[in-house]
Amino acid sequence: MSGVIAVLAMDQGTFCTGVLVTPRVVLTARHCIAPIVNGEPIECSKTTFGSPSAPEHVYVVTASKTAIPTQRHSVTRVLVPDDPSFCGSDIAALVLPEPLDEVEAQPIPLRMDRDVEASESFTAVGFGRDGSIAPSGTRRRREDLRVTCVGLDCRSRQLTDAEWWGDGAVCEGDSGGPAIDAEGRVIGIASRKRDGCSATVYLDVARSSAFVASALGEAQYITLARDKGGSGCSTGGTGTGAPLAVVFALLAMRVLKSRRRIPPD
């Protein structure tokens, strides 16, 4: 899957995975481009994020036919949710100055019309370790994984209703990588793992539709401003300058629920 690419934050010293969802927008985990405050271990009641990396420190890297990242691309905007909490907000959008060529990477569509369901199957893709002594850096995929539980049904204080547990396969370097459903659509972004890479918490992209819609709109706004000879600049960490038509189109797919409720043990 050429749309699964590597993400480098030079100032953070991180190597992660991301997924191209439009020719100019990459989704990844927020902790790949922002420092973690009051971790580890991650505790939903107190762990938060610091300020994200500036765009000039972040790169996305497409992979060759051998699945090794080779071609580096710059980033023009780094977008994160307004909520600094780690749990339920571990997502970031990287806007590229130019669309990626489809020969290098083809976007993978998002599933925004319905939430993830327990027991549904998915495929995990990323540049992380495979559980052996082999280092990260090669794109791998694992199929026939299953969603263990979703949101409040997981009955854990270490999970929000915007997240879900999935089978293992995600290890160091896989953070930010996609969970892909049976129809080839992105349903989750890898956030954190259980010891031994035995299980993974994913952020449900459908439950993050407000942020995702804003990020896609931001990319369109920058493109239009540039094409009209403007500076392409905008304000707001989540891209509030986005065209409302883009935002409303995605928000209309679902009724947003509270993202910050933490279920009891």
- CA-closest candidate to residue 142, choices 98, 179, 183: 179
- Domain contains 105: no
Pairwise CA distance, residues 4 & 19, whole Å? 5
Strand partners, 59: 8, 74
Determine how β-strand 4-9 pairs with β-strand 92-95. Answer: unpaired
Please state the pTM of the whole predicted model.
0.84
- Domain contains 28: yes
- In a shared domain, residues 127 and 200: yes
Pairwise CA distance, residues 263 & 265, whole Å? 7
For residues 133, 60, 12 and 193, what is the CA-based torsion angle, rounded to 10 degrees? -50
131: domain CATH number is 2.40.10.10
176: left (phi over 0), alpha (psi -120 to 50) or beta: left
- Domain contains 49: yes
> Helix 209-227 and helix 244-251: axis angle, to 10°?
160
- The whole-number pLDDT of residue 56 equals 97
- The whole-number pLDDT of residue 219 equals 79
- The whole-number pLDDT of residue 227 equals 57
Q: List the chain pLDDT tens, one digit each, 265 residues.
A: 789 999 999 999 999 999 999 999 999 999 999 999 998 789 999 999 999 999 999 999 998 877 889 999 999 999 999 999 999 999 999 999 999 988 889 999 999 998 999 999 999 999 987 766 566 788 988 999 999 999 989 988 889 999 999 987 678 889 999 999 999 999 999 999 877 677 899 999 999 999 999 989 887 776 665 555 544 333 233 333 334 444 444 444 443 333 333 333 3
- Domain contains 110: no
- In a shared domain, residues 192 and 243: no
- In a shared domain, residues 131 and 199: yes
User: What's the domain count of the chain?
Assistant: 3
- Domain contains 112: no
User: For residue 222, what are the domain limits?
Assistant: 208-251
Q: Considering Cα of 73, then 77, then 80, then 84, what sign does the dihedral take?
A: positive
